[in-house]
Structure 1
Amino acid sequence: MISTVVWGTGNVGRAAIRAVAAHPGLALTAVLVHSPGKVGLDAGGLGGLDRALGVAATDDVGGVLAGRPQAVVYAGSGDIRPDGALADICRAIRAGAVVVTPSLYALYDQLNAPPELREPVLAAIAEGGGSLFVSGVDPGWGNDVLPLLISGLGSTVEVIRCQEIFDYSTYDQEDSVRNLVGMGLPMDHEPLMLAPTVPTMVWGGQIRLMARALGVELDRIRETVDRCPLETSVTTRTMGEFGAGTQGAVRFEVQGIVGGEPRIVIEHVTRIHPSCAPHWPAPPDGDGAHRVVIEGRPRIEVTIESTDEGENRSAGGNATAAGRLVGAVDWLVDAEPGLYDALDVPLRPAAGKLGRRQR
């Protein structure tokens, strides 16, 4: 069994605890938390399970890493503390651990990551013998392995479009929804996530990764952003009221331009209520979905809906992202120490999991 630590218990961390607990080859040995109120709580409760796992949460990072865990699932935020996340991850790698995480956007395409991010990771790998694999929380497989796999089914391919379509009223992360994405803020306010160059910073690596796999050269990466106000005030279960006239929906694209045309596109359509921007793409059942569209001959469209934590499709997306990361741990442990991306790490069948039930 591979000794595995989950670092962080937010949206991704909860799903990671469940994924590690369900994996037949992994043993959950520690859960690291930041909040003093979570210290001492059992991992089962923190992970949304109805049973104890016998692992008490701790904030003793040094003590946990001194135990030389083989793997760390790092689920700490990289949105508002990228330097802190990088330092944490390098610390775990120097302790010899395989680290999987969604938190360092620029390492989605690690070969083209900026030196100031890539070099500290490579130095930590050389010092400690650990490894790192970064895959997106939106989820990464929807912007790399899935579209690339489906693209191979067509005779001709003109455009690859990856869509995330969600109702954010079900999302349990108010700071990100309001302050990063701008839901509920005045329309003349420019939220950080929509500021020029930021979408490319977050999703450009996935565009470059797909271009590399497809053997095409990008002219450049272009961004488009559109926003719609709420016509009436709405009240959400988890985040309270969002006022009429404030931002209620966002649609943006990160476009890989090839031969002067957008050929590889990552598109996000997010709303705080289904009534906002009804003319934009909508998920089949209202809450959310991930969709890949291959424009060509034939035209291919694949829509994936996932649910977890009840009927929450936002949680379902987090769970599949965590599943991709946790499912890579044993492969990475067997591989040479290094810095890996989605083109390196295979997406494999659920060996040993079929028929296993988790409560």
Structure 2
Amino acid sequence: MISTVVWGTGNVGRAAIRAVDAHPALKLTAVLVHDPAKVGRDAGHLAGLDTELGVAATDDIEAVLAAGPRAVVYAASGDIRPDDAIADIARAIRTGAVVVSPALYPLYDHRSAPPEYLDPMVAAVAEGGGSLFASGVDPGWGNDVLPLLISGLGSTVDVIRCQEIFDYSTYDQEDSVRMLVGMGQPMDYDPPMLWPGVPGMVWGGQVRLMARALGVELDEIRETLDRRALDATVSTKTMGDFEAGTQGAVRFEVQGIVDGEPALVIEHVTRIHPSCAPDWPTPPDGVGAHRVIIEGRPHIEVTVEATDEGGNRSAGGNATAVGRLVGAIDWLVEQEPGLYDALDVPLRPAVGKLGRKQR
């Protein structure tokens, strides 16, 4: 069994605990938390399971890493604390652990990562002999391996479009929804997630991964942005009211330009209420979906809906993305130390998982 630590117990960490517990080759040996109120609580309870897992959460990072875990799922956020996340992940790699994480967007395609992200990881691998596989929770597989797989079904391909279409009123992270993305803020508010260059930083790596797999050269990466205001005040169950006239929907694209045309597109369409921007793409059930569209011959569309934690669509998306990361651990353990991306890590079938119920 591969001793595995889950670092962080937020939206991603809860799913990671469940995924590690369910994996037949992994053994959950520690859970790291930042919140003092979580210290001592059983991992099963933190993950929303009906049973205890016999692993008490701790905030003693030094002790956990000194025990020499073979793998670490780094589930803490890197959105607003990238320097801390870089230091944490490098620290875990230096112990010789395989680390999987969605926290650092620029490392999704480490070949194009800026030095401040890449250099600490390269140094940590050289020093400790660990490895890193970084992939997204939006989800990563929906913007790299899935569109690439589907593209092989067509005789001609003109455009590959990956869409996330989502109702943010179901998202359990109010600070991100209101402050990073700007939902409920005045239309003259400048949301950090939408600053010029930021979408390209977050999703450009996955565009580059697709281009590399397809053997095409990108002219550049472009961004488009559209925002809509709410016509009327709406009330949500999770985050309260969003006032009329404030931002209620966002649509942006990160476009990989090939021969002057957008050929590889990652598009996000997010709303705080279905009434806002009804002319934009909508998910089949009005809540959320990930969709891949291959424009070519034939025209192909694949829509994926995932639910978890009592039917929550956001939790389902997190869970599938985490499943990709956690499912790579036993493969990574058998590889040479290094940095890996979505094109390196093969798709892993659910070997040993079929019929295995969560405890």
Answer yes or no: same fold by TM over 0.5: yes
Q: Work out the CA distance in 1 between the residues paired with 2:238 and 2:40.
A: 26
The equivalent of 1:127 in structure 2 is 127
- What residue identity is the alignment partner of 2:46? L
Is there any run of 5+ residues in structure 1 with no aligned partner, and where? none
What is the 5 A alignment of 1:265-276? 265-276=265-276
C-alpha RMSD over aligned residues: 0.6
Q: CA deviation at 1:127?
A: 0.5
State the aligned residue count: 359
Q: CA deviation at 1:237?
A: 1.4
Q: Work out the CA distance in 2 between the residues paired with 1:45 and 1:165.
A: 31
The equivalent of 2:12 in structure 1 is 12
Q: CA deviation at 1:315?
A: 0.6
Q: Work out the CA distance in 2 between the residues paired with 1:30 and 1:239.
A: 32
Q: Work out the CA distance in 1 between the residues paired with 2:319 and 2:48.
A: 12
The equivalent of 1:220 in structure 2 is 220
Q: Find out whether 1:86 has 2:80 as its counterpart.
A: no
The equivalent of 1:235 in structure 2 is 235
Q: CA deviation at 1:175?
A: 0.6
Q: Work out the CA distance in 2 between the residues paired with 1:186 and 1:155.
A: 47
What is the 5 A alignment of 1:45-84? 45-84=45-84
Length-normalised TM-score, structure 1: 0.99
1:273-324 deviations in whole A, cap 9, x for unaligned?
1111100000001110000000000001000000000111111000001000
Task: State the SS of the aligned residue for 2:4.
Answer: strand
The equivalent of 1:292 in structure 2 is 292
- What residue identity is the alignment partner of 1:347? L
Q: Find out whether 1:150 has 2:150 as its counterpart.
A: yes
Task: State the SS of the aligned residue for 1:56.
Answer: coil
Q: Work out the CA distance in 1 between the residues paired with 2:331 and 2:14.
A: 22
Task: State the SS of the aligned residue for 1:216.
Answer: coil
What is the 5 A alignment of 1:1-359? 1-359=1-359
- What residue identity is the alignment partner of 1:42? D
Q: Work out the CA distance in 1 between the residues paired with 2:282 and 2:9.
A: 30
Q: Work out the CA distance in 2 between the residues paired with 1:230 and 1:32.
A: 40
- What residue identity is the alignment partner of 2:354? L
- What residue identity is the alignment partner of 2:141? W
Q: CA deviation at 1:116?
A: 2.1
Task: State the SS of the aligned residue for 2:301.
Answer: strand
Task: State the SS of the aligned residue for 1:162.
Answer: strand
In the TM superposition, structure 1's runs of 4+ consecutive aligned residues that sit over 2 Å from their partners are: none
Contact kept, 8 Å, 1:287 with 1:312, in 2: the verdict is no
Q: Work out the CA distance in 1 between the residues paired with 2:8 and 2:240.
A: 25
Q: Work out the CA distance in 1 between the residues paired with 2:184 and 2:5.
A: 36
